[in-house]
């Protein structure tokens, strides 16, 4: 495949291993498995990862990996060819593996189908029909299954109606005109032909499969009742022959469709050293001078590590005492967190453990290198008629650092399971061809800097509102819809106060986007609804170490924030799709699996990069309804 520039952040989120990326020329390629990252053009693996290691011990410990590594950046070596020893550049000519996929192409002139190898760097092929060199066009369809497999569409098997066909005739992908799949036909030189109608459909048959047997599985074998099963291919491992047995029913999707690849990521906001400010300052020095856990592992005793650190770091490190340096080394190596996390990772989501500590930090005033929190407002007296007393505090986060790690991916649907150790292990098996190798005990991650507003709701008023009979009666409608569909939903979100919190976050982000200078796609929410922690962090982040420009933080001032809240709640009282939006939300629900109440694209939805819960569990009724609304005054 031809070289294709990608941002490092994209390789952790949008275009991780197993994802399809489209080049400016319209060619699609698949990102290779993590086993082949950090190799140069001569197939040599780099010796040291100090340039790429991210220091986030809490996240690394909870994910049970040895390292978190940033994707490699490309450093060309040719410009240093005659520089001698005066200029040295490490880790040059590193490439991320790209594989051509799908491998089937058709001739733009005669529509004859051709198949090429995944390693082919060009789409110029000799057409068997035209007898000329043509620039071929990749077919638009691939087939995927819920277990993460992806395969070429079975063109030969489909046109012959038999997955065991042996015909080797020439095939053509012919369009008869029209906008539906009925207008696309596959023709074989053996006189067989068949339209593509139904290949992207899935109908639910609970007696056969709880998620429905795809029409492709039922229709491919025309003369038998045998269902076509997923081939189990994993082409991102580097070969079309990489496969495993799979009993799922595949479905055809467009290769650039969003449901081809859903990354599973987990993020953590960097918190200051939990022991003292000196540890936090030392962590910053270590990171600046490339002292990583990998580098420290070359020395056996703790004393040797401390000696070499004092030699390599600047003179300012001599000002720190022996115990602080020792504590910093233990923190970076993760020795302080392993015992605690090993007990909790299997019973709770890893993200839950991270957010408990984040909430406890964000409610305080903090002033460190990577996290600055300023107290703005506290509710001193509760007044029933005053909407501001529904909030308990506002803090302005003038600087934060967020680390985002890729733990796996899904196809067809987003992952609703808990991010426990089993889920992380399952994800690693998809990201790595050989996940058990000692060299593969790492995950790709990316760090970004930003700013935000953190606020909490009045806990007493929130719990009193939730316990009201009319609120419980209304919310039971959502619970009954969940019971009917038998969905596997995280139970921590299923209560009125959490749906209220999520909806409030969305409407405030929408209003902030109109006033702070950022668009809604660049603002993100971070929800805290664990035990008695009820807060929202609305923040923006970028890959630049300088962070952002303060427009969002300025809106966190009391005189700016509450007018935004008033406007947001006032707008939420009416949706441009009302009365339909409100009535459907109260009666049958709407959105995916009817998990939303009065919430739709016209009033409450955010871009997918902004929402943590996929625009689910939203309901304006809980905020503004004249009878049960929390903010109804």
CA distance 123 to 468: 65
CA distance 298 to 212: 53
Residue 545: predicted pLDDT: 54
Q: Which two tokens stand for residue 191?
A: 């006189």
Query: Beta strands 442-457 and 67-69: pairing type?
Result: parallel
Sorted by where each begins, the domain ranges of the chain are 8-98, 139-254, 459-519+548-633
Residue 344: predicted pLDDT: 38
DSSP letters of 544-611?
STT---SHHHHTTSHHHHHHHHHHHHHHHT--TTTTHHHHHHHHT-BSGGG-BSS--TTTT---TTT-
pTM of the predicted model as reported, rounded to 2 decimal places: 0.84
Residue 348: predicted pLDDT: 44
Residue 422: predicted pLDDT: 65
Residue 207: predicted pLDDT: 41
Contact 93, 76 (CB under 8 A): yes
Residue 347: predicted pLDDT: 30
Query: Beta strands 391-410 and 209-214: pairing type?
Result: unpaired
Q: pLDDT digits over 379-401, tens only?
A: 887 777 778 889 999 999 999 98
Beta strands in 39-81 (DSSP E): 39-40, 67-69
Q: What is the CA radius of gyration of the chain?
A: 28
**Listed residue (211, 184, 206) closest to 195, CA to CA:** 184
DSSP letters of 386-399?
-GGGGEEEEEEEEE
pLDDT below 70 — which residues of the chain? 1-2, 78-88, 203-212, 273-276, 334-351, 415-422, 485-488, 490, 543-547, 633
């Amino acid at each position: 495949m031809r070289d294709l520039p990608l941002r490092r952040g994209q390789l952790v989120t949008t275009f991780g291993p197993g994802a399809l990326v489209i080049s400016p020329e319209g060619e699609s390629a698949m990102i290779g498995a993590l086993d082949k990252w950090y190799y140069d053009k001569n197939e040599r693996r780099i010796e040291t990862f100090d340039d790429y290691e991210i220091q986030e011990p809490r996240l690394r410990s909870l994910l049970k990996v040895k390292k978190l590594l940033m994707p490699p950046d490309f450093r060309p070596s040719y410009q240093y060819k005659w520089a001698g020893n005066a200029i040295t550049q490490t880790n040059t000519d590193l490439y991320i593996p790209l594989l051509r996929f799908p491998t089937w192409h058709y001739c733009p002139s005669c529509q004859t189908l051709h198949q090429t190898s995944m390693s082919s760097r060009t789409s110029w092929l000799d057409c068997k029909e035209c007898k000329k060199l043509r620039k071929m066009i990749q077919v638009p369809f691939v087939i995927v299954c819920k277990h993460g497999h992806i395969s070429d569409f079975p063109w030969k098997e489909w046109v012959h109606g038999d997955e065991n066909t042996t015909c080797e005739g020439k095939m053509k992908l012919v369009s008869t005109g029209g906008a539906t799949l009925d207008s696309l036909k596959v023709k074989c030189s053996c006189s067989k032909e068949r339209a593509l109608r139904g290949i992207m459909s899935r109908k639910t048959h609970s007696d056969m499969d709880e998620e429905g047997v795809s029409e492709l599985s039922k229709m491919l074998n025309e003369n038998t009742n045998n269902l076509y099963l997923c081939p189990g291919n994993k082409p991102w491992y580097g070969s079309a022959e990489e496969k495993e047995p799979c009993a799922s029913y595949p479905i055809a999707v467009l290769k650039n469709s969003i449901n081809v690849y859903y990354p599973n990521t987990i993020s953590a906001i960097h918190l200051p050293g939990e022991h003292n400010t000196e540890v936090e300052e030392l962590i910053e020095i270590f990171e600046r001078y490339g002292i990583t856990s990998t580098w420290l592992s070359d020395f056996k005793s703790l004393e040797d590590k401390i000696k070499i650190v004092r030699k390599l770091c600047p003179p300012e490190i001599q000002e720190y005492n022996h115990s602080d340096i020792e504590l910093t080394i233990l923190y970076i190596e993760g020795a302080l967190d392993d015992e605690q996390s090993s007990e909790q990772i299997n019973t709770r989501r890893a993200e839950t453990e991270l957010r408990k500590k984040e909430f406890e930090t964000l409610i305080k005033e903090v002033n460190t290198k990577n996290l600055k929190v300023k107290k703005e407002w506290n509710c001193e007296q509760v007044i029933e008629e005053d909407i501001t007393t529904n909030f308990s505090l506002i803090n302005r986060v003038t600087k934060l650092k967020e680390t985002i790690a890729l733990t796996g991916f899904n196809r067809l649907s987003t992952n609703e399971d808990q991010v426990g150790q089993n889920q992380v292990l399952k994800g690693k098996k998809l990201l790595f061809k050989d996940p058990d190798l000692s060299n593969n005990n790492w995950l790709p991650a990316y760090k970004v800097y930003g700013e935000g507003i953190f606020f909490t709701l009045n806990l007493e008023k929130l719990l009193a509102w939730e316990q009201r009979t009319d609120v419980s009666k209304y919310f039971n409608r959502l619970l009954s819809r969940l019971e009917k569909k038998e969905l596997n939903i995280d139970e921590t979100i299923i209560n009125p106060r959490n749906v209220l919190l999520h909806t409030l976050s969305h409407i405030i982000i929408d209003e902030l986007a109109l006033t702070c200078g950022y668009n809604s796609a660049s603002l993100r929410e971070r929800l805290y609804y664990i035990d008695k922690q009820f807060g929202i962090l609305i923040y923006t982040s970028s890959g630049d170490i300088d962070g952002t420009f303060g427009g969002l933080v300025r809106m966190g001032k009391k005189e700016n924030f509450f007018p935004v809240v008033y406007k947001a709640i006032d707008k939420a009282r009416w949706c441009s799709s009302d009365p339909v939006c409100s009535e459907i939300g109260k009666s049958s629900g709407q959105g995916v699996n009817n998990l939303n109440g009065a919430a739709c694209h016209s009033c409450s939805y955010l871009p997918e990069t902004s929402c943590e819960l996929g625009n689910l569990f939203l309901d304006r009724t809980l905020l503004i309804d004249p009878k049960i609304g929390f903010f109804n005054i």
